[in-house]
Structure 1
Amino acid sequence: MMFYRSFFPRDVFSQLDRLHSQLSHAFEGSPNIRGAEGGFPAINLGTTERSVEIHAFAPGIDPASLDVQIDKGVLTLSGERKTEERAEQTTIHVDERFSGEFRRVIALPDDIDATAVSARYSDGVLQISVPRREAAQPRRITIQ
């Protein structure tokens, strides 16, 4: 089956699709603590023996507008993407880029060292590295 979608305003199905998308976006709640799919910014999260690594994909956002906090083992990433300036006579047919305030909340493991967190923003990707406490890292025990 092939779906037809026109980007011109006289197509009723295109208008209904856009209206449905706008209504869905208006009534969405904020992402839950597990980082529900579809939240902004999209994130990748992984662990190593030495750290928890988080990559947040947030292109076009001023790094100064991002706020990263850790409190009681919960990392909160929040900020705002400004609405793009458009010419007054521009008729928008499709607007899929998210704008507005956002917030992502991630539960971290108990063995992290919240005093040594580092964050770096490059090419639209925010990389947050949360090291694990030295006592929690695996170590080899010498047999005598």
Structure 2
Amino acid sequence: MYRSLFPRDLFAELDRLQREMQQVFDLSPSIRGFGRGGFPALNIGSTPTSVEVYAFAPGLDPARIEVNLDRGVLTLAGERAPLADANDEKQTLHINERFAGRFRRVISLPDDIDPAGVNASYRDGVLQVSIPRKASAQPRRIEVQ
């Protein structure tokens, strides 16, 4: 009878190899989208009145998150502590996909933002930074006479 040379599922191993190779090159998209860009994962969008940045960072103390805005560059920095039982000598860790350590994300913002009105809030593991646009940059309707 045929006996597998590999103790694991071959397709799972091929999938793991593809993910590792994609992380090395981080250039081409796959069916899952582009490779991970770092921690925390970001969503950045804009409205006519503001720029919205969402950082998905569960398990952080909001007091330890640094949010800085300097000359149109938004910087998010902080540290995520490792899990307590990750250092247990009796435990063997096979897969560790949870990020632990210092992080820093830098985002270039458009020129029409108003740095005086920045608002940051952290709720349910999501940091939301809202940066209003300058009133002069917002679209307005001009009445024709």
Q: How big is the alpha-carbon RMSD for the aligned residues of Structure 1 and Structure 2?
A: 2.6
CA distance in 2, matches of 1:4, 1:122: 35
Aligned to 1:100: 101
**Structure 1 gaps, min length 5:** 6-16, 26-35
Aligned to 1:59: 58
Give CA deviations for 1:110-132 in whole Å, capped at 9, x if unaligned.
00000100011111000110000
Give CA deviations for 1:38-95 in whole Å, capped at 9, x if unaligned.
2110000001000000000001111111000000000000000001111442221111
Aligned to 2:136: 135
Change (3 A) 1:4 1:46: closer
Aligned length: 121
**Structure 2 gaps, min length 5:** 1-8, 25-34
Structure 1 outlier segments of 4+, above 4 Å: none
Aligned to 2:40: 41
Identity across matched positions, percent: 56
TM-score (norm 1): 0.75
The structure, 1 or 2, with the larger RCO (C-alpha pairs under 8 Å, 6+ apart) is 1
SS in 2 for 1:109: coil
Mapping for residues 65-80 of structure 1, pairs under 5 Å: 65-80=64-79
1:138 CA drift (Å): 0.8
SS in 2 for 1:3: helix
1:37 CA drift (Å): 4.1
CA distance in 2, matches of 1:4, 1:125: 31
Change (3 A) 1:52 1:91: same
Give CA deviations for 1:15-42 in whole Å, capped at 9, x if unaligned.
xx7xxx7xx89xxxxxxxxxx8421100
Structure number, greater radius of gyration: 2
CA distance in 2, matches of 1:107, 1:38: 15
CA distance in 2, matches of 1:83, 1:46: 30
